[in-house]
Amino acid sequence: MVDLMAVDPSGGVYRLLLSHCCSLWPDLLLVPQFAEQEGCSFVASNVARQVPYIRKDGIRYGCTANLRTQADSLVFISRDNRRHAAEIMNLFVVQIPNTTKPPHICALVRRMLSDDDIPPMPWDL
């Protein structure tokens, strides 16, 4: 297991994963780890493990958090009928303890910077 607060001390990664898991599993009533409200506690050090890469449909996806290599961490993501260049920063396998929910793979991605002067594809220069 990885402590999400050690990955990002500002708590941004923890909040993103909590929000995603709340929408993925609304029936669990997930709450932040120190919340006083009723629900299943989303403990930063007990819900995720970090993996260096995954394989999906025969394609290997890596991440920049991998200490051995950062190969396969650059991708294109389709959104709004457009392709956007992105970087896979972290790959997490999230599983809530003491529940019957299967493990879920989450990729933390960062979109590459763009503006109107940069063409969508490098060969359009």
Number of folded domains that form the chain? 1
Q: What pTM, to 2 d.p., does this model score? A: 0.84
pLDDT of residue 38: 92
pLDDT of residue 55: 95
Q: Which long-range contacts (CB under 8 A, 24 or more apart) does 70-75 make?
A: 75/109
Q: Which mean pLDDT values do the consecutive 10-residue runs of the chain (125 residues) have? A: 95 96 96 93 96 94 90 90 92 96 96 74 66
* E-state strands within the chain: 30-32, 40-42, 48-50, 53-56, 59-62, 74-79, 82-94, 104-111
- Residue corresponding to tokens 């991708």: 75
Residue 119 located in a structural domain: no
- What domain range is 46 assigned to? 4-113
pLDDT of residue 124: 65
Residue 43 located in a structural domain: yes
